[in-house]
Amino acid sequence: MRPDAVPAPTVRRLSLYLRQLEAMQEGGKSTVSSRELGAALDLTDAQVRKDLACFGQFGQPGIGYRVADLAARVRTILGADKPRNVVLVGAGRLGSALARYEGFGEKGFRLVGVFDEDPDRIGRDVSPGGDLVVRSMDDLAAMVSEQNVRLGIICVPASTAQAVADRLVAAGVKGLMNFAPTPLKVPADVTVSGVDLAVQLEQVSFQVGVLAAGGEGP
């Protein structure tokens, strides 16, 4: 299957498979069936097989999948086998917390720069290791091109998010994770994923209301 034909939901699950496989590998498991892998992630066995089939066949009938092999294969598919550089713009509370978030590093992402236009924030240390300080926005473009950065995280207020996105795109970034509660306009060759925390909580809240109302009946 051509890589651009892989459904988005499949890509999301691939990431979950990898995490689960790594946990199983640590636990000393050598093979796993689609049923087992699915059960751990609340998915059907058919779903797991369909997802993996997008990238060729590497299961053994009657046995299942070899955990180590499959993990390595998925890692390659996702590109998680080589480090991918990331920059983060906006060193407010959320931005600073994300800069220190270990989860990105565990997935093979390398945060190479944190930027902000507020002079009070520039120079502040935002890494657990102490080797990352907030830099001026003036240094953004150079960093992106020198370190070949393709991914950017936007953690600025909604009012400046579009301007920041424009600068990142102009510098050469091709994928954005946007925490600002506003839609971004970007060229077609740039991917944006909006992470709108309030909207997500709103969704849970609505669902809770629905289930509560549904449960009231006789």
Partner DNA sequence: GCGTGTGAAACAGTTCACAGCA
Partner DNA sequence: TGCTGTGAACTGTTTCACACGC
CB closer to its own copies, 117 vs 196 = 196
Binding residues with DNA: total (CB under 7 A): 26
Residue 82 CB, shortest distance to its own copies, in Å, is 11
If one asks whether residue 183 binds DNA (CB under 7 A), the answer comes out as no
- Of residues 68-87, which lie at the interface with DNA (CB under 7 A)? none
Helix (H, G, I), strand (E, B) or coil at 217: coil
Q: Per CB under 8 A, which of residues 145..164 are in contact with its own copies?
A: 150-151, 153
- Phi and psi, residue 17, nearest 5°: -60, -45
Q: How far is the CB of 216 from its own copies (least distance, A)?
A: 12
Q: Does 110 bind DNA (CB under 7 A)?
A: no
* Gyration radius of the chain over CA positions: 20
Residue 13 contacts residue 41 (beta carbons within 8 Å): yes
CA atoms within 13 A on the CB side of 65: 29
Q: How far from the centroid of its chain's Cα atoms is residue 18's Cα?
A: 13
Chain positions 1 to 60 lying near its own copies, rule: CB under 8 A, are: 3-4, 6, 8, 11-12, 14-16, 19, 40-42
